[in-house]
Amino acid sequence: MEADVIIGKGIDMEELFNRRILIEKTIIQPTKYPGKNSSGLRMQMQVVLATFNTTPDQSGDYYQKDASGVAIGERRSCFTGSDILISAIQKAENQMPALNKARQERGEPLLSVYPIDTTIVKVGKCFQFT
């Protein structure tokens, strides 16, 4: 997969609320609709409507995978201007290099931000990852 391409038919954020999903990648760019949020950004997410097991596999993942380790499920894409969700993704991406440097020094396996096993919930008018 190309890093700068999100695949999958569009899905509304409302259809993802309170539903466990995998986020495989995100693209954060300036919004085409200024004034809708304080950051001036929008995030496109590639989500997988995956099937989750009740217990983790050897890698500690709960989602079902194919033989090559890729999540099984329908891939969909959605946009959000939620500053809370955008900032949570940016924070995770920004912390990863330092986290992995420390893990490497301890001889531990490196981590990746993606895929993210999460649920998006709506609290009042705000969206949050759980």
Average pLDDT of the chain to the nearest whole number: 92
Residue 4 lies in a domain: no
**Token pair in block for residue 87:** 């900032």
Provide the domain count of the chain. 1
Q: Which residues are CB-contacts of 79 (< 8 A; sequence separation ≥ 6)?
A: 10, 13, 42, 43, 44, 45
Distances (CA, A) of 130 to 3, 88, 127: 25, 11, 10
Please check whether residue 79 lies inside any domain of the structure.
yes
Q: Is residue 3 part of a domain?
A: no
Kindly report, residue by residue over 4-28, the tens digit of the pLDDT.
788 899 999 999 999 999 999 999 9
Which token pair is 43? 């995030």
| 23 contacts 115 by C-beta, under 8 angstroms | yes
In terms of residue numbers, what domain contains 64? Answer: 9-129
Q: Where are the beta strands (DSSP E) in 55-94?
A: 73-80
* Per-residue pLDDT reduced to its tens digit, 38-62: 999 999 999 999 999 999 999 889 9
